[in-house]
Chain A
Amino acid sequence: MDRIEPGSQVGDYVLGERIHAGAMGRIYAAMPLYGTGPGFPVVVKVPTLGRGGGGMDMVGLETEIMLMPELSGLHVPRHVASGALATFPYLAMERIEGEGLAAIAERAPLGADETARLGAAIADALHSLHTQGVVHHDVKPENVIVRTDGTAVLVDFGFARHERFPDLLGEEMHFAAGSAAYVSPEQLRDRRGDPRSDLYSLGAMLYELATGEPPFGFPATLAGMRDRLWRMPSPPRAANAKVPPWLQEVILHCLEPDPARRYQSAAHVSFDLRNPGEVELTRRAHETEAPGFWRQARRWWRAVGEAPARNAKAAGSRTPVVMVAVDTSHPDDERHGSIRWTARQVLSLSDDYRVIFVSVVAAPAVREEAARNDTSSARHMRHVALLRQWIEPLGLPAHRASLHVVESADPAGTLLALARQNHVDLIVLGAPAPDPMRIAWWRSVASAVTAGAHCSVHVVRAPRREGAAARERSVTGSA
């Protein structure tokens, strides 16, 4: 391979300025040789050592060339083209415009709101990746770019593991230079393929954003990194008293040395960071100094006997987010009992879930509101109380459930938006009433939600009574 520099031709592209040079490769801005290219700005990545270097950068690039065409969604750069390893290895992909998280982390400590907003955006990106069967394994500020619209994009998949492709890196190398501050304990133990490893790294980044320093500093030696195999870091509130307990709870939950004690899914991290009021606070939420010697010693003992992690992909898929739509405006509707029964059945299938109960309330006309002296906040309180009453028989632990009352003239659109934002796996809602003249509202909602949902939808129908069925038959017959 000839020398690669600005002006060199790589595939169908001419290289422009060099954007990045690291151990794992060099990245150049690139212009299409002819035509307009793919319609978005492109960068080209080439190995640092050039062809035949045989170094780990080559395996990293090979991994990226293998995985990138398979990835989709807003949270990864779009793949454009690549060159075969045997001839001219390179990777052309979308140039992501935005601010690197590394630059944002320079401004740390950040406020709790900003930390949570960034964390939720990164958790969204990880969730998207994990649902595609991929673990990133090198989540650190240098590999996260935040777009101006607030979405996070993950870059550099040289260490990633895809469940449907061979793990070319395998035991060769476990983490990149410069990743020591964020790498999970199990990666230090040579275990790859567990999405919960990325959640640990997310926790380490959140810790840094909230306090200004990663949880274990920037260790230079392997011995310095091994502390995290069993030790909890000093709580963020010790470094920054402004960190609220709920944020500390989320961060330390991510940083549990044992993956089984961490969040089991990025969607749950995102959910908690967006719903601080729903975070279940445990002892660790309030701590302001590192756990004492004896508690740490117990952790060390547990870590020594730690069994290999179970299949975490399976664990992730067994921890669903369920959304139940409850029509609190019609409390007497016969479907409520069936919907509650269904919710109970669905939630009994999993031992770790999040459930969101939503009531979409139609806002009355302003004149009507004034006439009844029914202000928006009073109405909101009333529906929250109804919703609370509705879920009471389910006996759910508080931190598993969150309640939302939303005023909207577009219930289906509102439900769909909430479902997408919260990575809902299943929506439970009532079927249209058999009588088309009655609560026509639901008919359109159920069908619009079913048509537009990104996930499964469970449409619940109350058991028909004979009379009702007969009535419906006559309605159908006359139609």
Chain B
Amino acid sequence: MLWALFADVHANLEALEACLEDARGRGAQRFALLGDLVGYGADPGAVTEIAMGLTASGAVSVKGNHDQAIEGTASYLNDTARAAIEWTRGQLEPRHRDYLAQLPMVAREETICFVHASADAPHRWTYVDGTAAAWRSTQAGGATYTFSGHVHDQGLYFERPGGGMGAFRPVPGTAIPVGRHRRWLAIAGSVGQPRDGNPAAAYALFDAAAETLTFHRVAYDHVAAARKIEASPLPPHLAYRVRKGI
């Protein structure tokens, strides 16, 4: 089974379509949407529509903090994110809002745990930004593989024989052996708003049979995505972030 892992799409339609095409071209059979479908970008309706279609045909989809904020509890977001959410809410049809509201916080399939932030208290939206946080999420998830987003940079954590975890910054395009004799936690990277200085969309492919994980970056028309944000009432610096990948 070849899983495509998409996190933090953030209403970036151009990026999502590019990643879907890339993943399908590489033979992806199932999709996992790791949260934050909306917020920041100009196409929340279209992105949610695609997510609903994928879910109907078997995709796993979990809730992110921006998805939750649509329900009206956005107090913990910063001003920019809140402004984006206010605008986004008005762009969504009721069925989009219903879809986002019913998303689970955590999903499990066989040896995999899917969660937007940390499996350890997922509703707190803790950032998995180090080996200690990764260890807590892995322990709480209780699965061989924990796949998440929230942190926008791609990352891979691996269990050490003596306990605790090691961290690795993946190089795109390399199939990394992730044997099931260890526990692994992968951050797929952000499809719609990468922040590492490279505007290319990020996602990952997990080959469950071969036990390999490959991180990918996909160049797409990010300028078009940025222009749409500029043409909307969204805060202009959200467009700048998409242009620059920061």
Which of A59-67, A176-184, A238-246 lies at the interface with chain B?
A59-67
**Do A65 and B162 touch (CB < 8 A)?**
no
Instruction: Given A65-B177, A85-B179, A86-B180, answer yes or no on A168-B166 (Cβ-Cβ < 8 Å).
Output: yes
Find the A residue at minimum CB distance from B167: A166
Which residues of A sit under 8 angstroms from B166, Cβ to Cβ?
Answer: 166-168, 170
CB distance from A227 to the nearest CB of B (A): 29
**Do B168 and A167 touch (CB < 8 A)?**
yes
- The answer, yes or no, to whether A466 is at the interface (CB within 8 Å) is no
Complex Cα spacing A163 to B156, Å: 14
Which residues of A sit under 8 angstroms from B160, Cβ to Cβ?
Answer: 170, 172
Q: Which of B156, B158, B181 has the most CB of A within 10 A?
A: B181
Q: Which of B160-199 contact A (CB under 8 A)?
A: 160-162, 166, 168, 171, 174, 176-177, 179-182
**Do A86 and B176 touch (CB < 8 A)?**
no
Complex Cα spacing A56 to B161, Å: 9
CB distance from B204 to the nearest CB of A (A): 14
CB distance from B114 to the nearest CB of A (A): 21
In the complex, per-residue mask of B82-116: 1 if CB is within 8 Å of any chain A CB, else 0: 00000000000000000000000000000000000
Find the A residue at minimum CB distance from B182: A85
Complex Cα spacing A396 to B24, Å: 55
Which residues of B sit under 8 angstroms from A86, Cβ to Cβ?
Answer: 179-181
- The answer, yes or no, to whether B211 is at the interface (CB within 8 Å) is yes
**Do A62 and B179 touch (CB < 8 A)?**
yes
Instruction: Given A54-B161, A166-B158, A172-B161, answer yes or no on A84-B168 (Cβ-Cβ < 8 Å).
Output: no
CB distance from A383 to the nearest CB of B (A): 47
Select one of B162, B174, B211 contacting A165, CB under 8 A.
Answer: B174
Which residues of A sit under 8 angstroms from B168, Cβ to Cβ?
Answer: 165-167
Q: Which of A41-64 contact B (CB under 8 A)?
A: 54, 56, 58-59, 62
Which residues of A sit under 8 angstroms from B162, Cβ to Cβ?
Answer: 172
Which residues of B sit under 8 angstroms from A167, Cβ to Cβ?
Answer: 166, 168
**Do A84 and B161 touch (CB < 8 A)?**
no
**Do B181 and A166 touch (CB < 8 A)?**
no
Which residues of A sit under 8 angstroms from B181, Cβ to Cβ?
Answer: 84-86
Complex Cα spacing A59 to B171, Å: 22
Complex Cα spacing A166 to B169, Å: 8
In the complex, per-residue mask of A148-180: 1 if CB is within 8 Å of any chain B CB, else 0: 000000000000000111111010100000000
Q: Which of B127-165 contact A (CB under 8 A)?
A: 156, 158, 160-162
Complex Cα spacing A168 to B211, Å: 16
Q: Which of A69-100 contact B (CB under 8 A)?
A: 84-86
**Do A58 and B156 touch (CB < 8 A)?**
no
Complex Cα spacing A355 to B179, Å: 46
**Do B176 and A166 touch (CB < 8 A)?**
yes
Q: Which of A62, A66, A164, A167 has the most CB of B within 10 A?
A: A164
Find the B residue at minimum CB distance from A171: B166
Instruction: Given A85-B179, A86-B181, answer yes or no on A166-B161 (Cβ-Cβ < 8 Å).
Output: no
Find the A residue at minimum CB distance from B144: A86
Select one of A62, A164, A168, A172 contacting B171, CB under 8 A.
Answer: A164
Which residues of B sit under 8 angstroms from A172, Cβ to Cβ?
Answer: 160-162
Complex Cα spacing A166 to B215, Å: 13
**Do B179 and A166 touch (CB < 8 A)?**
no
Complex Cα spacing A429 to B78, Å: 60
Which residues of B sit under 8 angstroms from A163, Cβ to Cβ?
Answer: 171
CB distance from A450 to the nearest CB of B (A): 28
Complex Cα spacing A326 to B118, Å: 63
Q: 30 pairs across A/B with beta carbons < 8 Å?
A: A54-B161, A56-B161, A59-B161, A65-B177, A66-B177, A84-B179, A84-B180, A84-B181, A85-B179, A85-B182, A86-B179, A86-B181, A163-B171, A164-B171, A164-B174, A164-B176, A165-B174, A165-B176, A165-B177, A166-B156, A166-B158, A166-B166, A166-B168, A166-B176, A167-B166, A168-B158, A168-B166, A170-B166, A172-B160, A172-B161
A residues lining the B interface (CB < 8 Å): 54, 56, 58-59, 62, 65-66, 84-86, 163-168, 170, 172
Closest 3 CB pairs of A and B: A166-B168, A86-B181, A85-B181
Q: Given known contacts A85-B179, A164-B171, A165-B177, what 19 new A-B pairs fall within 8 Å (CB)?
A: A54-B161, A56-B161, A59-B161, A62-B179, A65-B177, A84-B181, A85-B181, A85-B182, A86-B180, A86-B181, A163-B171, A164-B174, A165-B176, A166-B176, A168-B158, A170-B160, A170-B166, A172-B161, A172-B162
